[in-house]
Each structure stands twice: as structure tokens, then as C-alpha cells.
């Protein structure tokens, strides 16, 4: 089964092998074609594909597409999932034909496990109309995905949304003009999917937490707080005595599952095994351990293509919780690769790679972005960050608006090679109580090394920070408006 994807505008059968033909000129760009090779001293693992980058006319490509990393022919079984409210699947079905499709992602995964067969799972999106809420998601039974087999998971007929939110029933709150209520425990964040926030890159508008007001007793406190909420468009409050969630929707509209989405203290996609995972076309929302947490592996690959990971939270920071989490938390994994994927509005980092015991993951990010990650009281929140000796490559990525260094890396032995990346405007983590103003590219806290090839910082007080204690950044063809401080050198 061929899964070749057109990365250049040519038909798949005419797609050149860039690993063999490095003089190929992409047809949809102008200017000189350039090959970017890994710099001397960058210790990319020999066991992984040897990555090169290419550029022309301000566009950047990778020598390896997402399909080049895994053997797609081994996915010999296909399962179908459709959670449509009417005419959908049934988890009692086998899932192996469209006529016998299942209704939840988690049930299909467990059926693949039981079959002991590498499986392609196709999720029906119905043009983006269907939400795979918590009980239809990866975490439908609240357990980690300790898979016994590799999985390839794709949306079909549109993008697919899934996450740790429930389908809830809302009722008008008596005695108030604009408040609606529903009972739900362990609520961490609330957003309005029907109200894109222009200031937040057209992401969902987050409901603003309304703090409890003073009162002589619990009843008086609730009455005063709801009076304030009734006057606060876009507000949200939880009564700790009853676990009632009260919302005042934007535009004073009636609350529905279309304009209120409450993310819970349950996991997102927790991939806790040494099996390969490939995901395409999914929007992963919420997650107490991140939208995606990969751990427990050592030689496997976790690959995302054309996905979004957003709104992760491990606590209600607006109500005093100090618990925060990354959108993608990558631990025990051989290689984490992401193409054309966005990591936005997590309560901590966008993409975070750490060692798990003796296992040090590697990272490859191509044409990805991370925006506005980090909530108070968390400090030093990054769009992209590597630790503990991780080796990573980023090509044509954009890191902007994160509450800390947009692309910041630490620890002895950590190495990052970035080609054509942009680090956009950010105030650092000063808005969340920190003191970091080097908000473009940075290394610090140990002998971490970064090579910036044809990268660009814009709108940052300090665009490139070479750190101290042995950390170094090497520049080639760098453009930027920010200061360069610390150990920053040029390379050829």
C-alpha cells in the first residue's frame, strides 16, 4: 500500500528522491536552490535517517517526508470508526469494514491490540462536523495507550477534533439574565469554539475566570459571585460546593456544546509503549498530561502530520493551581517527528523533549509552529525546548508569542540544528512573573549548543542568547532585530 504524499506539486509517481537527487529544483519557488547539510559537530544519531534541508525563495523542505520514516506496508489491517450521533458505528462491531465500523477511537485501538496486527485506523470526520469527545476519544476508558502493535491513525473526509471534554447539558440559571449552568467535576479550562480570538491567532476564545466574591456565608458568596458573572461577558465560575459550572457566553448567547467546551483533569493521548505511532489530520484538544505524552519507548517513532495540539492544562491556574503541562511532552521515544503541526496555548511549553531514564529522544520538526504557550504562574515557557542531551532538527518552523524563549534549549549535550526557523515577537516570561527577556532563540543552563542556519528573529528584545556555563549558539546567514548576547559565534 503506497502512502506517498505530494510534497512539491508533482504527482507521487514523479516525486524525486531528494536523498539521491540533491540538485532538484522545486517547481513552485523562485531564486537559487540551496542544500543545507548538518553542521560539523552536530551529533545526529546514526540509527536515524540522515536529514538534510533544502530551500528556495524563502521556502524550506526536508529531505524526508513523514511517510519516509515508517514502513506503511506493514499496516495490513484497517479499522473504521464513526461516532456520528445518527447512523454512526457501534463498538460491538469488528471495525474491519465500513459496514461494521466502531464508534470510539479507544475501542478500535484495543481491538487492534487484541488482533496483534499493525493497524491503520480511519476516523470519519464528516467534513469536520463530528467531535470525538472524551468517551469517543483515545482515552475512552481512562487508561494509557499501552499498545502492543504499531498504529497509523488518520482522519477521513475532513479534519477531526478529539479531546478530554464531555458533551454536556446546559440550563438557564434562575434569577440571572446571562448565566447558564452545568454540573461537571474536575474542570480545568473553558473555551468558546464558536468565538475565535483575533488577538490569539484566531484560536478559541478562553472564558475568563471570575473569582469568588466576599460574603457572610456560602450562599452569600455564590450570590455575589454570580451577580458579577452576570455582568461579565465571557466569564466562568465553578461553585466548589456543587461542582456547578456557570458561564456567561460571549454575545450573551445561550450555552451549548458549540460555544462552551470545558477541558477536564483527564489525559489526552498518552502513548506509553515502544510501538510506532503515525497520526494525520487530527486536532487534539486538552489533556492533563498534555495533548500528547509519549513515554515508555526507546527505539520507536511517533510521527504527526497536519495536526494541531491545543489548550492543554493540568490544573485550573486561574483558580490558584500551579500545575502546568506542555502540549507535546516527549519522553521515552526513539524519534518524535512533526510536520505541518501547530502546538498552541498549553499552560507550559509547546513542544518539550526530555530524557526518560537512560532513553534520550531525538526530534524532527518541519514547518511546525507554536504560539502563545505558558500561563501564570509558570515561568520560562517555550514554544520548542530540548533538555538532557536531546538531539533535534527544526526546519522552516515558526515559534512566536510564547511566555519565555520561543526556541530555548538547556543541559549538557543538548544540540539543536535549526534551518529557516523564525522566532517571533514575545515579551519573554515577564508577564508570568519571570525575568527572561531573551525571547527569540536561546541556550542556557549547561553546555547546550544550537546552530541557526538562515533563521530570523523579530520583535524580541534579545533575539539570540548564547547563555553561560558552556552554552553556545552558532549563526549562519542569520537575520534579526534583537540583540545578540552571550556565547554567539558565526560558522561556515
**How many domains are contained in the chain?**
2
Mean pLDDT of the chain: 90
Asked if residue 230 and residue 208 are part of one domain, the reply reads yes
Asked if residue 198 and residue 154 are part of one domain, the reply reads no
CB contact at 8 A, 164 and 288: yes
Percentage of the residues of the chain whose pLDDT score is greater than 90 = 77
Residue 374 lies in a domain: no
CA proximity to 492, closest of 443, 450, 449, 451? 451
10 Å CB burial of residue 187 (0-12, 13-18, 19+) is buried
Q: Is the pLDDT of residue 163 over 50?
A: yes
* Strands, E assignment, 146-212: 151-156, 160-163, 171-172, 180-183, 187-197, 203-206, 208-209
Asked if residue 189 and residue 139 are part of one domain, the reply reads no
CA 124, distance to chain mean position in Å, is 21
Domain boundaries, position 186: 171-262
CB contact at 8 A, 262 and 247: no
Q: How confident is the model at residue 200 (pLDDT cuts 50, 70, 90)?
A: confident
Give the residues across from 475 on adjacent strands.
452, 490
Q: Given CA atoms 223, 225, 230, 235 in this order, what sign does their dihedral have?
A: negative
pLDDT at 228: 98
Asked if residue 137 and residue 120 are part of one domain, the reply reads yes
CB contact at 8 A, 275 and 297: yes
Q: How confident is the model at residue 354 (pLDDT cuts 50, 70, 90)?
A: very high
pTM above 0.95, yes or no: no
Cα–Cα distance between 313 and 317 in angstroms, integer? 8
End of a domain among 262, 281, 303? 262
DSSP classification of residue 251: G
- pLDDT higher for 24 or 126? 126
Q: Is the pLDDT of residue 296 over 80?
A: yes
Asked if residue 158 and residue 82 are part of one domain, the reply reads yes
Asked if residue 152 and residue 189 are part of one domain, the reply reads no
Residue 212 lies in a domain: yes
pLDDT at 14: 26
CA 255, distance to chain mean position in Å, is 27
Nine-digit cell string for 415: 544540540
Cα–Cα distance between 2 and 12 in angstroms, integer? 10
Residue 486 lies in a domain: no
Residue 185 lies in a domain: yes
* Strands, E assignment, 58-110: 59-62, 77-81
Amino acid at each position: 500500500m503506497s502512502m506517498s504524499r505530494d510534497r512539491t506539486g508533482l504527482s507521487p509517481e514523479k516525486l524525486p528522491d531528494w536523498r539521491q537527487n540533491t540538485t532538484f529544483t522545486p517547481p513552485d519557488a523562485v531564486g537559487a536552490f540551496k542544500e543545507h547539510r548538518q553542521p560539523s559537530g552536530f551529533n545526529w544519531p546514526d540509527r536515524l535517517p540522515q536529514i538534510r534541508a533544502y530551500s528556495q525563495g524563502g521556502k524550506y523542505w526536508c529531505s524526508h517526508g513523514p511517510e519516509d520514516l515508517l514502513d506503511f506496508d506493514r499496516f495490513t489491517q484497517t479499522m473504521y470508526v464513526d461516532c456520528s450521533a445518527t447512523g454512526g458505528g457501534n463498538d460491538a462491531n469488528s471495525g474491519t469494514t465500513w459496514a461494521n465500523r466502531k464508534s470510539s477511537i479507544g475501542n478500535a485501538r484495543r481491538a487492534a491490540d487484541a488482533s496483534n496486527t499493525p493497524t491503520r485506523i480511519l476516523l470519519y470526520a464528516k467534513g469536520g462536523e463530528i467531535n470525538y469527545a472524551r468517551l469517543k476519544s483515545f482515552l475512552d476508558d481512562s487508561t494509557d495507550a499501552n499498545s502492543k502493535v504499531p498504529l497509523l491513525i488518520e482522519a477521513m473526509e475532513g479534519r477531526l477534533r478529539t479531546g478530554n471534554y464531555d458533551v454536556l447539558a446546559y440550563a438557564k440559571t434562575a434569577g440571572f439574565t446571562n448565566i447558564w449552568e452545568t454540573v461537571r467535576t474536575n474542570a480545568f479550562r473553558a473555551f468558546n469554539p464558536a468565538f475565535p480570538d483575533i488577538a490569539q491567532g484566531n484560536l478559541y476564545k478562553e472564558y475568563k475566570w471570575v473569582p469568588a466574591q466576599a460574603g457572610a456565608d456560602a450562599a452569600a458568596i455564590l450570590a455575589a459571585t454570580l451577580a458579577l458573572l452576570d455582568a461579565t461577558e465571557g466569564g466562568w465560575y465553578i461553585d466548589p460546593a456543587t461542582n456547578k459550572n456557570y458561564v456567561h457566553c460571549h454575545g450573551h448567547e445561550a450555552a451549548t456544546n458549540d460555544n462552551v467546551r470545558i477541558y477536564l483533569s483527564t489525559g489526552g493521548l498518552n502513548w506509553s509503549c515502544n510501538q510506532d505511532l503515525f497520526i494525520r489530520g487530527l486536532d487534539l484538544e486538552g489533556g492533563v498530561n498534555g495533548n500528547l505524552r509519549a513515554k515508555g519507548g526507546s527505539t520507536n517513532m511517533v510521527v504527526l502530520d497536519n495536526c494541531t495540539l491545543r489548550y492543554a492544562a493540568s490544573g485550573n491556574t486561574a483558580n490558584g493551581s500551579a500545575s502546568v503541562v506542555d502540549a507535546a511532552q516527549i519522553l521515552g521515544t526513539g524519534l518524535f517527528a512533526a510536520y505541518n503541526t501547530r502546538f498552541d496555548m498549553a499552560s507550559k511549553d509547546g513542544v518539550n523533549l526530555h530524557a526518560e531514564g537512560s532513553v534520550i529522544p531525538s526530534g524532527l520538526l518541519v514547518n511546525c509552529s507554536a504560539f502563545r504557550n505558558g500561563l501564570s504562574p509558570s515561568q520560562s515557557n517555550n514554544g520548542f525546548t530540548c533538555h538532557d542531551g536531546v538531539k533535534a532538527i527544526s526546519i522552516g518552523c515558526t515559534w512566536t508569542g510564547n511566555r519565555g524563549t520561543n526556541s530555548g534549549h538547556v543541559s549538557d549535550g543538548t544540540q539543536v540544528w535549526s534551518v529557516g526557523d523564525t522566532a517571533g515577537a514575545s515579551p519573554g516570561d515577564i508577564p508570568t512573573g519571570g525575568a527572561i527577556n531573551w525571547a527569540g532563540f536561546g541556550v542556557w543552563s549547561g553546555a547546550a549548543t544550537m546552530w541557526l542556519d538562515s533563521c530570523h528573529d523579530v520583535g524580541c528584545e534579545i533575539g539570540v542568547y548564547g547563555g553561560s556555563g558552556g552554552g553556545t549558539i552558532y549563526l549562519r546567514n542569520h537575520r534579526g532585530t534583537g540583540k545578540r548576547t552571550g556565547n554567539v559565534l558565526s560558522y561556515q
